Chain A
Amino acid sequence: MKLDNNLVITIKILSIDRIFIVYYNLLGYNIHRKETSMIITETKKYNKSLKKILKNRTKELERLENIKNLIINSDNLHSLLLSEYKNIYRIEKKKGDLKEFYTARLNEKIRLIMRPVGDYPYVEIEIDEIIFEDIDDKHYGEG
């Protein structure tokens, strides 16, 4: 597929540095964004639930991998919540007693429970680490 000139001009206006990095990486150079990116840590409880609930669930495991990729590729919690995938994966902040947690949807019933590392109320732009706390398969509709 060839790009026409107008498209190239639009790309330049949108984000020339990022396009530049992608182009050069595809040419075989190893250029990295020097911005920060988020890191993921996992609790024992999460790993236990992962084995128990998602065993052999290929589609949900694939979704989990996609969410991980999305998080790692975000600069911070703020940019994660601005992502095109926020609504697709239903990344939502919980309320009440669980207000410090976020959830993401793995399927209709199964939720990934996450907790940003930082003091609550969170300053989203400063949060660059997220803990995978648990996987919950008892959701019915809400959240």
Chain B
Amino acid sequence: MEKGDNMSGFGSMLNDYLEYHKISQTEFADRLGISQKHMNEIINDKTNLSVDLIIAISLLTNIDVNLIYYVENKKKIYNELISKYGSEKDINKMLDSYCLKEMEEKGWIRLKDKKSFTQKYMDLIEFLNVKDISTFDSYLDKRFLFKKKDNSNNIKIYLWINHCDKMINDIDIGEYDSNRLSELLLELKDERMKKYNEENLIKLFHKYGIILYIEDALKGSKVRGCSRVKINTPVIYLTRYLKEKSSLYFTLYHELMHIKKDYNMLKNKTIVDEDEKEIDELALNEMIPKDIYNELLLNVSDRERIDKENKIPLSFLYTRMAMEGKIKYSSSEYLSHREIV
């Protein structure tokens, strides 16, 4: 018997029911139309209940069909876990790799019984929306495009994406029209000049039929953002990983460029951000067009005017210059114009 789980199937509960109502096992077997031997096996959890029997027992006793199914399923999962992982310690080790504790602290998952590894596993697969853990890897391969093959980080990223998916379920926005993307980019120029306001940024995207959701990822996860298309609605998820407005906008433009360029591919695969030169260049160009950037580099004294005219926050300019090694991250230009989100 495992330490955390005292596992029996529905047999024990059925026995409690029969004893309370003073119904003999023989009589109940007759009502169900099964043999006394079969009834005995059910009571002693020596057999699994068929769906027909689950329904029939529920009808005869008025016990919630879900309760019977749940108890039987829990027993089945318990046996599968023990046969696959061997010990409670190894099962808990596997469960730990899915950051259950941190997810619970963040309120992403409700663990119904923290002491039971079987229940924790059931809560996890319910959260993951997969049939079981063995189907999870192939699902990740088919539906997600991770640029780095770091399995533990990719699991953390998936958990974050999955949480974001759940959070956007009730968001109702208008239809996305790719022809209006240039309008969004224009309005985004006005927004980026203002003090960073997450709510306004999200509203702006929703106005153009794109769901934007910002949520910090799990500890140690290096994700900045990802994009996908759900049915016909583009979705962008961002983290505040780099804490700076210029970095957050860079990721935002990066994902927006994916939506512009890879809309159809995003219907089948979620792209998780990593170094992608082409998309990065498009994003940088949206933040500061190449010709203006060159002009800004040359006209040091006129920078503020050029920036204002082209609606480019100075923090964007100095972050880019620091990134390209043109100034140091410790320089006064960079430090005095930093905007933290």
Residues of A within 8 A of B (CB): 1-3, 7, 10-11, 14-15, 18-19, 21-23, 25-26, 28-30, 32-33, 37-42, 61-66, 68-70, 72-73, 83-85, 87-89
Contact = CB atoms under 8 A, between A and B. Distances in A.
Interface string B95-118: 000000000000000111111100
Contact of B55 (A19, A32, A65, A69): A19
Contact of B70 (A26, A29, A39, A73): A73
A68 B59 contact: no
Interface in B268-284: none
Q: Summarize B's interface: helix, strand, loop or mixed.
A: helix
Q: Summarize A's interface: helix, strand, loop or mixed.
A: helix
B170 to A, nearest CB: 12
A21 B73 contact: no
Q: Which interface class (under 10, 10 to 19, 20 to 34, 35 or more) fits B? A: 35 or more
B130 A30 contact: yes
Interface of B: 5-8, 12-13, 16-17, 20, 32-34, 50-56, 59, 61-67, 69-71, 73-74, 110-116, 119, 125-126, 129-132
Nearest to B49: A26
Contacts of A41: 114
A86 B317 CA distance: 67
Contacts of A61: 6
A22 B33 CA distance: 21
A64 B74 CA distance: 15
A73 B6 contact: no
B69 A1 contact: no
B171 to A, nearest CB: 17
A127 B62 CA distance: 24
Contacts, number: 106
A72 B8 contact: no
A32 B126 contact: yes
> Which of B73, B113, B119 has its CB near the most chain A CB atoms (within 10 A)?
B113
Given A65-B6, A72-B119, 18 more contacts: A3-B56, A11-B55, A14-B59, A21-B66, A25-B73, A30-B129, A33-B66, A40-B113, A42-B115, A62-B12, A65-B7, A66-B71, A70-B67, A73-B66, A83-B67, A84-B62, A84-B63, A89-B16
Contacts of A64: 6
Nearest to A3: B52
Contacts of A22: 51, 54-55, 65-66, 69
B6 A84 contact: no
A40 B59 CA distance: 28
10 contacts: A3-B55, A11-B59, A22-B65, A40-B113, A62-B6, A65-B12, A69-B70, A73-B66, A73-B70, A88-B17
Nearest to B12: A62
Contact of B16 (A2, A7, A29, A63): A63
A72 B114 CA distance: 12
Contacts of B115: 42
B112 A39 contact: yes
Nearest to A54: B6
Given A37-B112, A39-B111, A25 B69 contact: yes
Contacts of B8: 62, 65-66
A23 B119 CA distance: 21
B108 to A, nearest CB: 14
